[in-house]
Amino acid sequence: MADKEKILVVDDEENIRLLYREELEEAGYEVDTAKDAMDAARKIPEFKPDLVTLDIKMPGMDGIEFLRKFREKDKSTPVVLCTAYADYKKDFKIWASEAYVVKSFNLDRLKDTIREVLDKSQEKREEQDQ
């Protein structure tokens, strides 16, 4: 059996982390969580996620700044920005992410987006391997 795809959920709200973990594990993923950008930076090297969901508004380093620093080191791991604020869609700095989802307690859109992004990422890796 293939290993489960790994997702790191980065969000400062504990209830969001718990909800995402529960829903994504139910969908068949291995999930770890981080409470902020610094926590995520510590966990990524060991956990080696296939995808990162990233909140934008967090104390300390916000998600956009973390995304910029993350892309300096890792250009291939997909990032899905998850925020309660739709107005960030206009910010060109989010273009370094693969997708942008407005938070909702119905996670169908998020799960669909994660599946699409992971499928595209897998196709890209297979093309590069040929």
Quote the CA–CA distance of 88 and 4 in Å, as a whole number.
Answer: 31
82-111: burial string, b at 16+ Cβ within 10 Å, e else: bbeeeebeeeeebeebbbbbebeeebeebb
Segment 17-29 mean pLDDT = 96
Q: Identify which has the larger pLDDT, 62 or 102.
A: 62
Domain range list for the chain: 6-129
- CA dihedral (92, 93, 96, 101) in degrees, to 10, reads -80
User: What's the pLDDT score for residue 125?
Assistant: 81
- Provide the whole-model pTM: 0.89
User: What's the pLDDT score for residue 1?
Assistant: 47
User: What's the pLDDT score for residue 20?
Assistant: 96
- CA dihedral (64, 20, 75, 60) in degrees, to 10, reads 30
Radius of gyration of the chain (CA): 14
**Cβ contacts of 101-106, under 8 Å, gap ≥ 24:** 103/16, 105/19
74: three-class secondary structure by DSSP:
coil
User: What's the pLDDT score for residue 104?
Assistant: 81
CATH superfamily, region 6-129: Response regulator (3.40.50.2300)
Average pLDDT, the chain: 89
User: What's the pLDDT score for residue 88?
Assistant: 56
Please tell me what DSSP assigns to residue 103.
-
- pLDDT, tens digit, 9 for 90 and up, residues 33-76: 999 999 999 999 999 999 999 999 999 999 989 999 999 999 99
